[in-house]
Amino acid sequence: MTSTPADIASVQTLPQLLAYRAARTPHAEAYRAFDPARQAWGSLTWAQTAERVSTWAQALAAMQLPPAARVAILLPNGLNAMCADQATLAVGGVPVPLHAIDNPGSIAYILGDCEASMLIVSQAEQWEKIRAVGTPFPALRAVVITDDDDAFKATPASGDSPAVGSLAQWLTGAAQTDASTAATGPQADDLAAIVYTSGTTGKPKGVMLTHRNVVSDVKAVLERIAPTVDDVFLSFLPLSHTFERTGGYYLPIAAGSCVAYARSVAQLAEDLKTIRPTVLVSVPRIYERIHAKLLEKLSPTPWKMQLYEAAQNKGWARFCAVQGLPAPAASEGQAAGWMAALPWPVLQALVAKPLLAQFGGRVRVAVSGGAPLSPTIAKCFLGLGLPLIQGYGMTETAPVVSVNALDDNDPACVGKALPGVEVRIGDNHELQVRGPIVMKGYWKRPEDTARILSTDGWLGTGDQADIVNGRIYIKGRIKEIIVTSTGEKIPPGDLELALLADPLLEQAFVVGENRPFIACVAVLNPGEWQRLAADLGLNPQAADSLNHPSVHRAVLARIEKNTASFARYAVPRTVHLTLTPWTIENTFMTPTLKLKRNNLMAHFAEAIEGMYQKPGR
């Protein structure tokens, strides 16, 4: 069984990490979750958590799965997902976290590819949809359904079909399990997960992460972020996302912090005020949504907008002074008019404190990762006092490579490399990484592994970057760099972030490969579109309104304003507009909400061609 390390330095595996925490602070609050039956929040201590995980581990051990068996976990964030993961690790199994919002075909592919011995899923309906795909699962022995009650009709294994039962039925096996049958814990170089990348092109690849990879990353992040036993994390990103697994799940175990599971993203605003977290781990999209709602509320009232701009600009100037960053240009405060002269305490009371109250009012550190953070978003929240730091990583690096610190925070960069992690710039300005956080390789794909991982341990990230005084500045994905027919090179990610600073644009992607100029396809926010159409005297319901020349002129004018800091050749000269959002279901977004550019290019091929047939602005 898993030994209990005396200190964090001697922890080598994830089961040891939980054992260390349960021994060190057994009676401290570990997890908080909402119980729909009682309509109340409940808690588990670290001792209770270890006990619950032990019950799950006994049930797994009773199944006598093959050594290093893959256990696929298709669950929303919550105690069941945590228990499934910890129990699998405790018996030396390999968790395969799946995106709860992924499509059945993709999940079926992963189950077959990783040769999963077991699937833990929240609803029987999900399993039925996966089974209906028709993919054979010869290794799959059991499916456990967590959300159905004790009356669930279990079905035994037959032929090629696995046994299917409820969580309650499965856990009864734990009581009959002799402790001597429990598997010994894993070693540092054993697999701690196979995490499948989203696959913006082609089939997803399984990233093999060892216990050494993950534990090394947790320890390094612990030095940079330093959460404590008094901190409360609010967990709302899926645990299938490596960023959440390390930063919002394993890191709090190491620190002894409490993790509260948000009820849903839809209820996040309410949960922030109820839980009042001190640490937030989020992707930029959450901050973008809050920012968009803020502008939507302020924009109809000019004096409120001016007050907001005055507070943001004055707060941003204060932040830059504290961090030793260049002072903002004097012109930045002009839009606020006479309100720019108001003292900071007044602006703080009127604008900053009400905004911070939306996050619960006591956030000590907010980490943004998983995608680039827009300069507009950074300026807004840092200017108004949210301690927001940006990091960088990838699934293949467990995932955190670098992150800013609260006292060394330049939002234009992604911080300095973590302790023990080496970075360098290779050919084509590619950022390369080496260290104990770098993956073992891709599951059953040695050729793909060899393409990205050198024999001396350097991993090619696929991102172009500069390193200045130790700080890493990401320029964009090498494969996504647009090269126009005039030879100009434009990273689309930064440009798209700038476009999305306008609340009118919900989603955007830019094109221009081998074309004379940059063009843009954008999804409009329905409410903002109604307002714009009314201002232009158009019927927003009419099919041809989106293509009206006055609409395109108005949108291009707003784009020009938000891309003022970009080179002229990078500013889109023409647009194609739509009101149909891009989603995972319509195959235009990955489960981690990245654009599937190939799919978008194919879908909008005719529209894109049309944009280049008319004269660009």
CATH number at residue 31: 3.40.50.980
Residues pairing with 72 in the sheet: 96, 119
Between 106-115, 560-569, 579-588, the lowest mean confidence (pLDDT) is in: 560-569
Instruction: Return the pLDDT at 614.
Output: 66
pLDDT: which is higher, 505 or 158: 505
- Residue 83 in any domain: the answer is yes
Q: Where does a domain end: 149, 164, 187?
A: 187
**Kind and range of the H or E element at 109?**
helix 104-113
197 has a pLDDT exceeding 90: no
> Computed from CA positions of residues 583, 588, 590, 595, in that sequence, does the dihedral angle turn out positive or negative?
negative
Mean predicted lDDT score pLDDT of the chain: 91
**Interatomic CA distance for residues 392 and 601, integer angstroms:** 27
177's tokens: 């399990």
- Residue 542 in any domain: the answer is yes
173 has a pLDDT exceeding 90: no
Range of the structural domain that residue 578 is part of: 482-613
pLDDT: which is higher, 617 or 282: 282
pLDDT digits (tens, 9 = 90+) for 381-405: 999 999 999 999 999 999 999 999 9
Q: Where does a domain end: 187, 222, 238?
A: 187
* Cβ pair 228, 255 in contact under 8 A: yes
- Residue 244 in any domain: the answer is no
Q: Where does a domain end: 187, 210, 243?
A: 187
- Write down the pTM of the prediction: 0.85
247 has a pLDDT exceeding 90: yes
**Interatomic CA distance for residues 319 and 334, integer angstroms:** 19
- Residue 41 in any domain: the answer is yes
CATH number at residue 582: 3.30.300.30
- Residue 145 in any domain: the answer is yes
What single DSSP character describes residue 79? Answer: H
Q: Which residues of 201-240 are buried (b: 16+ CB within 10 A; e: fewer)?
A: eeebbbbbbbbbbbbbbbbbbbebbebeeebbbbbbbbbb
- Residue 132 in any domain: the answer is yes
* Cβ pair 277, 260 in contact under 8 A: yes
First to last CA, the chain: 69
> What DSSP string runs through 316-345?
HHHHHHHHTPPPPPGGGGGGGGGGGGS-HH
Residues 6+ apart with CB under 8 A from 555: 504, 505, 522, 575, 577
- Residue 321 in any domain: the answer is no
> What DSSP string runs through 19-35?
HHHHHHSTTSEEEEEEE
Instruction: Return the pLDDT at 514.
Output: 83
- Residue 271 in any domain: the answer is no
Instruction: Return the pLDDT at 334.
Output: 64
199 has a pLDDT exceeding 80: no
Q: Is 381 left (phi over 0), alpha (psi -120 to 50) or beta?
A: alpha
Number of residues written out for the chain: 617
Report the number of distinct structural domains present in the chain: 2
pLDDT digits (tens, 9 = 90+) for 565-575: 787 888 999 99
CB atoms within 10 A of CB 195: 25
